[in-house]
Amino acid sequence: MDSGIFKILISVGTPTLIYSFICMIMVKYTKIPFKIITEKCVKEDTKYKLNKLIIFLPFGFGIGLAYFHKYVFNSDITNEQVFTLGATIGSTAILIYNIIEKSYNRKTEFDDTEAGTAIYQAMIMQLGTRDKALALLQTVAQVVGNNKNENQLEDIKIILSGIIPDNTIDFFALQLYNYFEGKILVVIKDITN
């Protein structure tokens, strides 16, 4: 862990750190039903806007925990200090969450390039989970790698049909085709050198 991050975590103090962990857990379990509700939204634009509200959950919970601290422990902090403490709790919760995610986040073979990361992230957004996106990309990679005929693009479209919305199949099929064709050429070039 970076020493600067470690200094930040130490500087906030033990009670704030404890509240930050509680806040992180609250956000983690609150955003699951929130995302399920937004999945039911018909319009992609509305779904995107609602999912952006998740960013404010740590600060809302942080302020709630700061008020909890003020009233349960009869603390003499002002309302302004409550908001400052709430923002600190929320920010620290986000920091802790990111440290944990970075520690346990598994890299995939698609994270080796910007294009691969972009395709992987786009598939996560389309499918909702990393595991589904990774499985789909591995299936497409296998089909493109094994199938050297001229129907690769059509084969990719068949794989995508029923998994992603019909109006985006052509776009994603072309993106995947281009990505994997470039990746295969790079592998072949590296082998010959």
Whether residues 166 and 96 share a domain: the answer is no
Taking the CA atoms of 8, 14, 16 and 19 in sequence, report the sign of the dihedral they define: positive
- State the pLDDT at residue 136: 82
Q: What is the pLDDT of residue 185?
A: 39
What is the predicted pLDDT for the residue at 187? 36
pTM of the model: 0.52
Q: How many domains does the chain have?
A: 2
pLDDT at 103: 67
Question: Do 61 and 13 sit in the same domain of this protein?
Answer: yes
pLDDT for res 149: 64
Same domain, 12 and 85: yes
Would you call 161 helix, strand, or coil by DSSP? strand
Q: Tell which of 104, 132, 159 closes a domain.
A: 104
Task: Determine the structural domain holding residue 142 and report its residue range.
Answer: 109-192
Q: Exposed (0-12), middle (13-18) or buried (19+): which is 132, by Cβ within 10 Å? A: middle
113-127: pLDDT as tens digits: 777 777 778 888 878
Residues of the chain with pLDDT under 50: 184-193
